Every structure is written in C-alpha cells, then in structure tokens.
Amino acid sequence: MSTTITWKPVRTVFDTSDKFIWKIHYTVEAKNGDYVADHHDKMTLDRPETLVSYDTLTEENLVTWIKNKLGTGIVLGIEGDLKNEICGFVSGTHKNQGLPYA
C-alpha cells in the first residue's frame, strides 16, 4: 500500500472590509492504511496587488498559495518527513502510535 499526502486548509483569518485572507491555518496528512502522520502549521500571506474574490476561492486555491509561499524545498521536506514517519509505523521497528493514558 502506498502513502498518500493531503494538504488541507483548516481555517483562514481575513479582513472584514475586503475579505483579504492574511492568515491560513493548514494541515498536511500522510496516510498508509491505518497509519497516519500529520503536520500542522499556519502562515501569514502577503497582500497581492489584486485580490481574488473571496466567494470564488476554492480549497485548491488556498493549497496553491500555501505551497507557493513555502517553496518547493520546504514542501518536499514536510512531505518527506511525513513519509519517513509512516515508514517507521509500517515497519514497526522504531515507531508506534497511541496515547499513554488510553
């Protein structure tokens, strides 16, 4: 089974006057069968010269903005770290998941 990576915006913060999104909270999830690894973060966006209408924005637009702001190297680094974490779970040799009080 292969590992799938999903980038997902979870919340935005925007100006009420023009709905410029200036902050995006996001998560990146790697999944392979029952094993899941995730990365959570947020970023501040720069105001563009021309705003895209808030009502027309899609999840894909926001993911593109996140990845563009991070840059290819950081995106690949996050995804690589998550894949390595999943590999550790799948092999069962050095990582496991759970809560200490469950």
Domain ranges of the chain: 4-91
d(C-alpha 95, C-alpha 33), whole Å: 15
Please tell me the predicted confidence (pLDDT) of residue 95: 64
Query: Running DSSP on this structure, what letter comes out for residue 41?
Result: E
**What percent of the chain has a predicted confidence (pLDDT) above 90?**
76
pLDDT digits (tens, 9 = 90+) for 4-23: 999 999 999 999 999 999 99
Quote the tokens at residue 60: 């894909």
Please tell me the predicted confidence (pLDDT) of residue 91: 74
Band the pLDDT of 93: cuts 50, 70, 90: low
pLDDT digits (tens, 9 = 90+) for 17-42: 999 999 999 999 999 998 999 999 99
Band the pLDDT of 96: cuts 50, 70, 90: low
Quote the tokens at residue 21: 């999104």
